[in-house]
Structure 1
């Protein structure tokens, strides 16, 4: 029996930071991973169902993060009496349930876009990375009418992304290839810590004078780079947290070659970004849904985490991943594709056990 304050987790997404914690390249101490997802609260007295998405970062303590510093949502229930309860935001019950796992990552992308576009007008954008965040940035950029290119170190990955059909008109290239645009307006670094420094070297070379680089991930407190001198790149990210301050906190630097560049970044996201993300997911369900490559039951989540963290191919086709979603209501073994027809409101009231 669960209490009225419990959260019944319905879907959860595996994030790149989950993989970094799994590989122990981050110092996070949560015993249970997971921070992207959707849950159901106890119904109201009149029987109305209430769905919420998780907002993992605490704006008053940005080191307090669901699934990082305290136990996350790779479980069926978050008990109401837990010592640390996660922050949540209401979500439209008409949202397809599988897409709800993309609300938080898309919300963080919308926050990054808000910051970068307030620092410099964005008409051409280059994105470094090949995971969920990078593809979400590229889609959002195209929805804003930008010319987009995506840079990734593996040709096989680029061919897989091309086959998804979500970035028609974008240029996909290897790091050593000539850029599609000489002097892009904005660069987004959606890279793990292991690859962030090399990506920043390339982005500094490619962005136009006065352009903006968004440090979407990959840099922590104390990290520096030869192109940006003594600037603490981790503190650039920590200057914007969960929508605070209103506007964009940026750092203005000159590279060793004398080029002026703005840098921004953030941690967390705000309710307005999550609400807008859910609206976009409903409006462009097929396009965003193509990013969900695997939907698995909780019992198989461990094998996917292990394979993804080690760089192994997926246990089931397709053998490249983008977003792996854990369906807490699945009890049968096996992997399925995204279901874009079943809304949150359509899910059964009681989770199978």
Structure 2
């Protein structure tokens, strides 16, 4: 049997589920470390209707068993990361419509294996760092690579969760040392956390409108889905010329600042790293000023591999963002607390990233 954090009856608890043997083209993997994402928290709070009973799309795992036809590079014992977003098959979205990694054993379906979404990692990988941080850093890699093509002078990051903090720390690495980075917060505790960190943005803002930003300005919106439209409007209000909508959106989201633009469709136009380059929408504000918009759901394999290399190069630059670490039972307790309240203080500390230890040593 498999210990898993299961969603049922409006709560989460650790339960035992049968371990499924992999069929042809499938893999059974043992999660070593997994992360809890902002979209996971939204599911816990009932803001999303994703059906997976076991959530979790961030993590590092080890292959336990392989079905017939699986490539030799994915032999049992191989350390792997799984790209959670299939670029062409909407029936595979790990931890959303397919049971995810917050369990001891996960069955990876053939559609993900055959598409190359299971990526072998070097045996030297620090799974304790890569497990919770690899996928969100890959999201940042995707965003910064595309925003950097517009040669901005200032990067405005709105959202002080894990993606926002990773973007601040990776901007100098991936956009160059001359980039000015501003991080906008929505709460005092969030601002206080950022001010206490060893790697800080050039500007820490408690409101986007408190300072004039040097242009051209690129904005990265990394907010919960119920705050994304307001964050976009704030970015447009301070003159952002290009915006990446990383944060989720409700269906058919719009803003009166951009008449006729379906923001949800703009974000959904790029999925799992395709198309390459990203599809960009050019719109005009009421003043006539043009703004370029794009977004993306998930990342491509190249973004995950770039993120893995960055974490291997300088893990200390990112490690302190893992603010909480626990096992499956402890994670279920934290998840219940997050489901009940919008507060992000757990055990007296602000939660940025929860790391969950799951599997025993399977080598």
| TM superposition score normalised by structure 1 | 0.85
Contact kept in structure 1, 2:157 and 2:183, CA below 8 Å:
yes
Residue 337 of structure 1 corresponds to none
Residue 341 of structure 1 corresponds to none
SS at 1:274 equivalent:
helix
Per-residue deviation, residues 231-272 of structure 1 (Å, max 9, x unmatched) = 111111111112211112100011112211100111111111
Stretches of structure 2 lacking an aligned partner (at least 5 in a row) = 2-18, 66-71
Residue 249 of structure 1 corresponds to 279
Map of 1:74-223 to 2, 5 A cutoff? Answer: 74-79=102-107, 87-101=117-131, 102-118=133-149, 120-143=150-173, 144=175, 145=177, 146-167=179-200, 170-175=202-207, 177-208=209-240, 211-223=241-253
Cα gap change, 1:36/1:159 in structure 2, threshold over 3 Å: closer, same or farther? same
2:362 equivalent to 1:349: yes
Q: Which stretch shifts more, 181-190 or 284-293?
A: 181-190
Contact kept in structure 1, 2:246 and 2:295, CA below 8 Å:
yes
Contact kept in structure 2, 1:16 and 1:192, CA below 8 Å:
yes
2:292 equivalent to 1:262: yes
Cα gap change, 1:141/1:180 in structure 2, threshold over 3 Å: closer, same or farther? farther
Contact kept in structure 1, 2:184 and 2:208, CA below 8 Å:
no
Map of 1:5-20 to 2, 5 A cutoff? Answer: 5-20=27-42
Quote the RMSD (CA, aligned, Å): 2.4
Residue 345 of structure 1 corresponds to none
Q: How many residues align structurally?
A: 326
Cα gap change, 1:138/1:313 in structure 2, threshold over 3 Å: closer, same or farther? closer
Taking the aligned partners of 2:92 and 2:262, their CA distance within structure 1 comes to: 21
Contact kept in structure 1, 2:54 and 2:99, CA below 8 Å:
yes
Taking the aligned partners of 1:223 and 1:323, their CA distance within structure 2 comes to: 28
Cα gap change, 1:63/1:230 in structure 2, threshold over 3 Å: closer, same or farther? farther
**How big is the shift at 1:79?**
3.6
**How big is the shift at 1:117?**
2.3
Contact kept in structure 1, 2:64 and 2:76, CA below 8 Å:
no
2:329 equivalent to 1:293: no
Taking the aligned partners of 1:176 and 1:110, their CA distance within structure 2 comes to: 23
Which of residues 293, 296, 302 is equivalent to 1:272? 302
Cα gap change, 1:108/1:14 in structure 2, threshold over 3 Å: closer, same or farther? same
Give structure 1 regions of 4+ aligned residues with deviation exceeding 4 angstroms.
1-4, 82-86
Per-residue deviation, residues 158-212 of structure 1 (Å, max 9, x unmatched) = 1112212222x5211111652252445200110011211211111001134xx21
SS at 2:148 equivalent:
helix
Taking the aligned partners of 2:338 and 2:230, their CA distance within structure 1 comes to: 22
Which of residues 36, 52, 61 is equivalent to 1:30? 52
Per-residue deviation, residues 256-303 of structure 1 (Å, max 9, x unmatched) = 122111001111111111011001011121111011001110111111
| TM superposition score normalised by structure 2 | 0.83
Residue 95 of structure 2 corresponds to 67
Taking the aligned partners of 2:352 and 2:344, their CA distance within structure 1 comes to: 12
Residue 316 of structure 1 corresponds to 347
Stretches of structure 1 lacking an aligned partner (at least 5 in a row) = 331-347
**How big is the shift at 1:61?**
2.8
Q: Which stretch shifts more, 142-151 or 178-187?
A: 178-187
SS at 1:66 equivalent:
coil
